[in-house]
Amino acid sequence: MTDPKSLSRERFAEHADEYVKSPTHAAGADLDKLVELTHAQPEWVALDVATGGGHTAIAVAPLVAGMVALDLTPEMLDAARGLAEERGIAGIEFVLGDAEALPFADESFDLVTCRIAAHHFPDIQRSVDEVARVLRPGGRFVLQDQCVPESAASAAFVNLFDRLRDPSHSRALSQSAWAEVVRRSRLSLGESAHFEKRMALTEWTRMQSCSAETVVRLREMLADASEVALAWMAPEGDGDDLSFVIRQLVFCAEKP
């Protein structure tokens, strides 16, 4: 059986260019809010964990003295490096590494960001504990990720729906679960915001090269969803026009 991290590497290596080009990842009010919540200072050194296509690192780099972009997948780092060069953003250090075992000394960074990635981490608590370790006192952590309902059954449904499309999806958390993760890492939770992104099922599945059988199964799951899950995902349309909502949470936390 393929371990989760190897599976993530394989799938992101295959789809690296898709994530660089993805409008959902490349820009939007959610990315603007994440950057706002960093309170980035020109003397700071920042780390972007699981940088993916590099969009967050590229957005933050001009605001700080140093920027490190870390990812588990070499092909994603290559794609992010290419995007930074294309946009004329210099000074980003690209590092191969694991979000659950950050290859940095304690208290190395003033700011750590992580955007639309944590749902791929097998051990989210460990990853946030690592963030807390590498943050300096007074440092900030800003995260954005998919969010699931507080209802355990509906949360399981949403996670299963995501995992069917992308087997490297591990688990998205509810807002209260994130608050508990932050508390256990001894960080102080600050401001949060919510965003909704309506996704066309055909495009969403194309990004992961889903089979026709998988697309059919996803349509069947939406048709059979509970009232709570339906309210959360808000499907609209049918056929090629079928779409649904992905809900995301952005929050900041501080190391005392």
What does the pLDDT read at residue 230? Answer: 96
What does the pLDDT read at residue 103? Answer: 98
Q: What angle do CA 183, 179, 222 make, to 5 degrees?
A: 150
Token couple for 186: 């001894």
- What average pLDDT does range 131-154 have in this prediction? 97
Query: Is the pLDDT at 12 greater than 70, yes or no?
Result: no
The mean of the pLDDT values for the chain is 92
What does the pLDDT read at residue 106? Answer: 98
pLDDT band at 175 (very low <50, low <70, confident <90, very high): very high
pLDDT band at 1 (very low <50, low <70, confident <90, very high): very low
Phi then psi dihedrals of residue 235, to 5 deg: -65, 145
- What average pLDDT does range 58-73 have in this prediction? 97
Judge contact between 202 and 175, C-beta under 8 A. no
Beta bridge mates, 49? 70, 114
Query: What's the predicted TM-score (pTM) here?
Result: 0.90
Lowest mean pLDDT among 30-44, 123-137, 195-209: 195-209
pLDDT band at 28 (very low <50, low <70, confident <90, very high): confident
Judge contact between 4 and 168, C-beta under 8 A. yes
> What one-character-per-residue DSSP string does 170-208 give?
---B-HHHHHHHHHHTTPEEEEEEEEEEEEEHHHHHHTT
What does the pLDDT read at residue 198? Answer: 96
Query: Whole-angstrom Cα distance, residue 12 to residue 134?
Result: 25
The continuous run of DSSP H or E covering 17 comes out as: helix 16-21
Query: Is the pLDDT at 63 greater than 50, yes or no?
Result: yes
pLDDT band at 68 (very low <50, low <70, confident <90, very high): very high
Neighbours of 62 (CB within 10 A): 12
Domains and CATH numbers, the chain: 4-149+168-196+247-254 (3.40.50.150)
What percent of the residues of the chain are helix, what percent strand, and what percent coil, each to the nearest 5?
45, 25, 30
